[in-house]
A and B are shown apart, each in its own frame.
Chain A
Amino acid sequence: MTASVLTRPQTAAAPLPTRRARRRLGPGPAIPFGAVLGPLLLLALWSIGSAAGWLDSRTLSAPWTVVTTAGDLIASGRLQDNLAVSAQRAALGLGIGTVLGTVLALVSGLSRWGEALLDGPVQIKRAIPGVALIPLLVLWLGIGEQMKVTTIVLGVFVPVYIHTHNGLRSIDSRYVELGESLRLRPAVFLRRIVLPGALPGFLLGMRFAVVGAWLSLVVVEQINSTSGIGYMMDLAREYGQTDIIIVGLVLYGLLGLVSDGAVRLVQRKALSWRRTLAD
């Protein structure tokens, strides 16, 4: 008995046939700072192009010119003022749109009548580009803040509605059965099963919505505006200042990225119970 145990390591020490590592089917471990690699590559190409003279500064200003211009805009306070106005519009539109989308999704997801009455119009709205509604909104609401915020709301509520509604409808019917077997009151059912079950869908909708809010903002601010980042860029177009236009574009991009990142952070916190491929 002992002898056989003692002889075992010897056999184990014999050269093992080299085995190929098994192929992973998941995406594998995360690359450190993976998210910034792509943007950095773009920036590098842009810098090289400008330095080598391949890019005419009238077509596209060099990165360093853009940085200097941004510094000037900040020093004069122009950037902050316009950003504040833009951010206020986006936040207001996003807030109203999110509430609207969520409430509509709940009504339409929890009742067949709600679905019959609401889902169709929302799908129709989804098929109409936001820009196409602007002429009508200008006629109805004028060119003031009301029109701008309404345009953003219309752009925001659709993705929130679609994804929350989808999340709601894909809640496992076994959980509904569980709720029935426990005789849950409707309010408890809503709070414990429906809302958490629809949360992944809602948060996905929010990721589209925050970016969508900035997109709608660009559109409305370049039409009949006297303030905001879009206005700043539109003015720059008239004077051929590509550097200011780029500052505006970079700003829009950063705002979109930061707000998307914020939602993803919330997503990771709120959905920590989930184990998915992405983790």
Chain B
Amino acid sequence: MATHAGGLTATRTVLVRGLRRGFGARTVLDGLDLEIGAGEFTALLGRSGSGKSTLLRALAGLDRDVAGSGLVDVPERSSVVFQDARLLPWQRVLDNVVLGLTGPDAQERGRAALAEVGLAGRERAWPNELSGGEQQRVALARALVSEPDLLLADEPFGALDALTRLRMHELLRELCTRHRPAVLLVTHDVDEAVTLADRVLLIDDGRLTVDIAIDLPAPRSHRQPRFLAYREQLLRALGVDQKED
């Protein structure tokens, strides 16, 4: 079933071998293997309950309480963007961005990161004063300010409205082109996956069932025939029947 990914680069950023995770009697990840190359933008699709978040949490090292086995090798410098922006409400925006950042130029780097996500001038604002989209942009700035080799994003735009989501897609593409981290973007939105990723994985029953490279030129559009072809292929793999027009 699995087709081989095209754009696997020579340097490998993530290596997962035989990953098993379970909650009680239920097996969520069943001997999963995965490699992600440096700078590769990978989207992970799956129905709810398919284990996509469990995989991301395993890569992020946030599942110490979960039973399981397997090899997980991720770079020391990796960042997580959660579905909720997860800003500390008692810290101002800039302090949220530089949280955990060390070095004398931390503040400067924080300001630069905020400017990059279009929030220059909002350094002193409280997270509560920002809109949902702005909060998620702060979260992106916080994730990228440490120049990570791997960016793990767990449905980061799931809680945003459609228009804001489109803007965030653009921003994320831009930031990733500039910083070149390897990305694992967990999503349930096929369009989002095809729009953003170099490679799309599909997880089902704790295993990767589809692994395809998305070979589309830069400004991707829903109207491109090949975009639609990828979309259809992934929807079919997800078990969604599409009506013939």
Contacts and interface: CB of A to CB of B under 8 A. Distances in A.
Interface string A165-178: 00000000011011
Given A181-B60, A182-B100, A274 B89 contact: yes
A184 B142 CA distance: 13
A275 interface: yes
B140 to A, nearest CB: 14
A185 B99 CA distance: 11
B90 A197 contact: yes
Interface stretch (A48-56, A86-94, A188-196, A243-251): A188-196
B88 A196 contact: yes
A22 interface: no
B79 A181 contact: yes
Interface string B27-68: 000000000000000000000000000000000111000000
A162 B124 CA distance: 33
B63 to A, nearest CB: 10
B126 interface: yes
Interface string A135-166: 00000000000000000000000000000000
Nearest to A185: B100
A183 interface: yes
A271 B142 CA distance: 23
Contacts of B79: 181-182
B62 A196 contact: no
Given A174-B86, A181-B79, A273 B62 contact: no
Contacts of A273: 89-90, 126-128
B91 interface: yes
B82 interface: yes
A182 B79 CA distance: 7
A175 B62 contact: no
Contacts of A183: 100
Nearest to B146: A182
A199 interface: yes
A180 B61 CA distance: 8
Contacts of B123: none
Nearest to B89: A273
Contact of A175 (B60, B88, B95): B88
Could you say which interface size class chain B belongs to? 10 to 19
A274 B128 CA distance: 8
Given A196-B90, A197-B90, A174 B82 contact: yes
B197 interface: no
B232 interface: no
Contacts of B142: 182
Contacts of B90: 196-197, 199, 271, 273
A181 B62 contact: yes
A72 B68 CA distance: 79
A193 B88 contact: yes
Contacts of A271: 90
A187 to B, nearest CB: 11
A121 B50 CA distance: 47
Interface string B63-88: 00000000000000001101010101
Interface string B10-21: 000000000000
**Which of B61, B79, B91, B99 counts the most chain A CB atoms within 10 A?**
B99
Contacts of A188: 99-100
**Which of B82, B86, B100, B128 counts the most chain A CB atoms within 10 A?**
B100
Given A188-B100, A192-B99, A273-B126, A181 B89 contact: no
Given A174-B84, A175-B86, A180-B62, A196 B91 contact: yes
A184 B88 contact: no
B99 A182 contact: yes
Interface string A251-279: 00000000000000000000111110000
A192 B60 contact: no
Interface string B158-188: 0000000000000000000000000000000
A181 B91 CA distance: 18
A152 B88 CA distance: 36
Nearest to B64: A180
Contacts of A180: 61-62
Nearest to A200: B90
B80 A192 contact: no
9 contacts: A178-B82, A180-B61, A182-B79, A184-B100, A192-B88, A192-B91, A196-B88, A196-B91, A271-B90
Interface of B: 60-62, 79-80, 82, 84, 86, 88-91, 95, 99-100, 126-128, 142
Q: Which 7 A-B pairs rank lowest in CB-CB distance, beginning with the nearest?
A: A182-B100, A196-B90, A181-B80, A273-B126, A184-B100, A273-B90, A178-B86
